[in-house]
Amino acid sequence: SISQSGRRVCLVDCDFRRPRVAKIFGLREDLGLVQVIGGKAELEDAIQTTTIENLYAVTCGRRPGNPAELLASERFNQLLAELREKFDFVIVDTPPILVVSD
C-alpha cells in the first residue's frame, strides 16, 4: 500500500534460512543480498522490479552458510544506508524473532 501511494519502496529479504520474497513475487533467486554482501555482485544488479508499481525487491540470493555473520557485517550496514538514499521506504523481512540468532 505504501508503494501504491506513490512512494518508492524496497523490500529486502534478510530471512536467509527461509527466504520467501523471490517466490512470492516471481523474482530471480540466484542474485541477491548474499552475493552483494559477499562482494560478488553490485547492489544495482540485485535490485529487482516487481509487478507492483514503485515496489522493488532485493532477494536473499543463494543461501549462505553463515547468515548471522553476514547480517552483523559492516557491509550490510553500508548496503542499508545505500538503500535508504535510493528509496523512500526500506522494508526488511527478517526471520521470526527468538527462533534463530540472525
* CA dihedral for 96, 81, 38, 19, sign (positive or negative): positive
Distances in whole angstroms, Cα of residue 31 to Cα of each of 3, 4, 13, 72, 86: 23, 26, 12, 20, 19
pLDDT band at 88 (very low <50, low <70, confident <90, very high): very high
Residues 16-34: tens digit of each pLDDT = 888 999 999 999 999 999 9
Q: Is the pLDDT of residue 70 over 90?
A: no
Taking residue 47's Cβ as centre, other Cβ atoms within 10 Å add up to 19
> What pLDDT does 4 receive?
92
The model carries a pTM of: 0.89
